[in-house]
Amino acid sequence: MIDLHCHLLHSMDDGSDSIETSIKMCEIAYKDGIRKIVATPHFNEIWKPTLGMIEKKIKEIKEKLNFQLSIFPGSDITLFYGIYELIKEKKVIPLNLTKYLLIQLPHIFDPRVIENLIFQIQLEGFSVIISHPERQSFFMENPSFLKELIKRGCLVQITAGSITGKFGKKIQKFTKYLLRNDLVHIIATDAHSDKYRKPVLSESVEIARKWIGNRAEEMVSTFPEKILNGEEI
Ligand SMILES: [Fe+2]
């Protein structure tokens, strides 16, 4: 399996707090059957990681691993005022440096502004993956807006823990709705540590398989592989 969204890198954001934690996270992921991870530290108003910083941390972790786990650079981008300029100047880090940007929307937003901003980002040659909309009340109240974004070429990533019920029954129910209505392309861990939010996918895939069949597996294998390679889905 492939995990496209993981706060694996130590001391970069609110994810892993030390290299020891990062190593433990790698071990948990590997045991779960994950063989490729995209390290996606937050890129927002507070944190602005550079590719150099990310590559340095990946190297530090890789040197301490005694099993085969591939780690790729990426970032978890939150939209804020000024982000478009940073994207245009190629300051943000796409998933494995492809055209795919992992983007989470702010808590409160004007859909018309967001739609326009995403369109501008697409005009720069990027493909947008909307990160965990199932955890945002706006989408819960307006799932049609998510449909609209998909119609306009966006992909959707949901969090494994939303499927297993880690974020509560309401989010779990909405996640099931999204999966059953073909509004999801990727399942990822969005792991932040080796304890509460761990890099585990298998449990959620098993549950999702009961809801939508074998397509659940594609969401942690075929589709993320295509994204890693910069191919179309
Ligand atoms: Fe994240």
Give mean pLDDT, residues 73-91: 95
Which residues are 3's β-sheet partners?
37
pLDDT in tens, 97-114: 999 999 999 988 999 999
CA of 224 to the centre of ligand 1 (A): 16
CA of 7 to the centre of ligand 1 (A): 6
- Cα–Cα distance measured from residue 153 to residue 148, given in angstroms and rounded to the nearest whole number: 9
- Cα–Cα distance measured from residue 231 to residue 75, given in angstroms and rounded to the nearest whole number: 18
Taking a C-beta distance cutoff of 8 angstroms, is the pair 71, 86 a contact?
no
CA of 14 to the centre of ligand 1 (A): 9
Q: pTM value?
A: 0.97
CA of 78 to the centre of ligand 1 (A): 9
CA of 5 to the centre of ligand 1 (A): 6
Return the number of other C-beta atoms located less than 10 Å from residue 196's C-beta. Answer: 9
Q: Which H or E element spans position 210?
A: helix 202-212
Give mean pLDDT, residues 176-182: 98
Give mean pLDDT, residues 203-218: 98
List CB-based neighbours of ion ligand 1 within 5 Å: 76, 190
| Closest alpha carbon to 108 in 80, 144, 86 | 80
CA of 6 to the centre of ligand 1 (A): 6
CA of 8 to the centre of ligand 1 (A): 10
How long is the chain? 233
Which residues are 39's β-sheet partners?
6, 73
Which fold is adopted by the domain 2-228? TIM Barrel (3.20.20)
CA of 170 to the centre of ligand 1 (A): 20
Sheet-wide strand order for 36-39 = 2-6, 36-39, 70-73
CA of 159 to the centre of ligand 1 (A): 9
List Cβ neighbours of 81 (8 Å cut-off, separation of 6 or more).
Answer: none
- Cα–Cα distance measured from residue 233 to residue 229, given in angstroms and rounded to the nearest whole number: 11
pLDDT in tens, 106-155: 988 999 999 999 999 999 999 999 999 999 999 999 999 999 999 999 99
CA of 211 to the centre of ligand 1 (A): 25
The pLDDT of residue 223 is: 98
- Cα–Cα distance measured from residue 30 to residue 97, given in angstroms and rounded to the nearest whole number: 23
- Cα–Cα distance measured from residue 38 to residue 164, given in angstroms and rounded to the nearest whole number: 22
